[in-house]
């Protein structure tokens, strides 16, 4: 008996992927409930080491080189922080202006609207989504 095609594919692919230099190979078959019954899916979870050099010529080593190059070229953190600093400076200027106005009008407090967004809007995502950069 050859067994099932699923087992044959999972075992064969796992061995081949390990031989390609991946540091971790996990092929997983799972069920997904749906309106037309359960559906089976197989996903491959793969990891490779990030490295600037390709010593062994494996596919995973090439991916490690690409990852290292991509991480080195990522300017997300710098540009995002620059944008956020600009926004913060604009808000501080708005706060100072409002406070000066209130003090000139004989008040010792101020309420200043800094920003607003609607849930689900593009502006909401700008203020609530995490900014990811660098490795993983």
What pLDDT digit, counting tens, does each position of 46-99 carry? 998 887 776 777 888 888 888 888 888 888 888 888 988 998 999 999 999 999
How far apart (Å, rounded) are the C-alpha atoms in residues 63 and 46? 11
> What pLDDT does residue 3 have?
65
pTM, two decimal places: 0.57
pLDDT of 1 over the 60 cut:
no
Across the chain, mean pLDDT equals 85
How far apart (Å, rounded) are the C-alpha atoms in residues 28 and 127? 36
The residue that leads in pLDDT, 106 or 28, is 106
Rounded to an integer, the average pLDDT of 2-22 is 85
Report residue 29: phi and psi, to 5°. -105, 130
């Amino acid at each position: 008996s050859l067994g099932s095609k699923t087992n044959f594919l999972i075992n064969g692919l796992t061995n081949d992927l390990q031989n390609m230099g991946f540091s971790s190979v996990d092929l997983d078959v799972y069920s997904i409930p749906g309106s037309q019954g359960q559906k089976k899916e197989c996903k491959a979870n793969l990891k490779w080491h990030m490295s600037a050099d390709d010593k062994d010529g494996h596919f995973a080593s090439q991916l490690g080189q690409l990852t290292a190059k991509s991480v080195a070229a990522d300017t997300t953190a710098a540009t995002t922080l620059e944008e956020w600093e600009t926004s913060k400076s604009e808000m501080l200027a708005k706060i100072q202006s409002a406070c000066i106005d209130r003090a000139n009008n004989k008040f010792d407090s101020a309420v200043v609207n800094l920003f607003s967004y609607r849930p689900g809007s593009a502006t909401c995502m700008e203020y609530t989504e995490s900014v990811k950069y660098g490795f993983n």
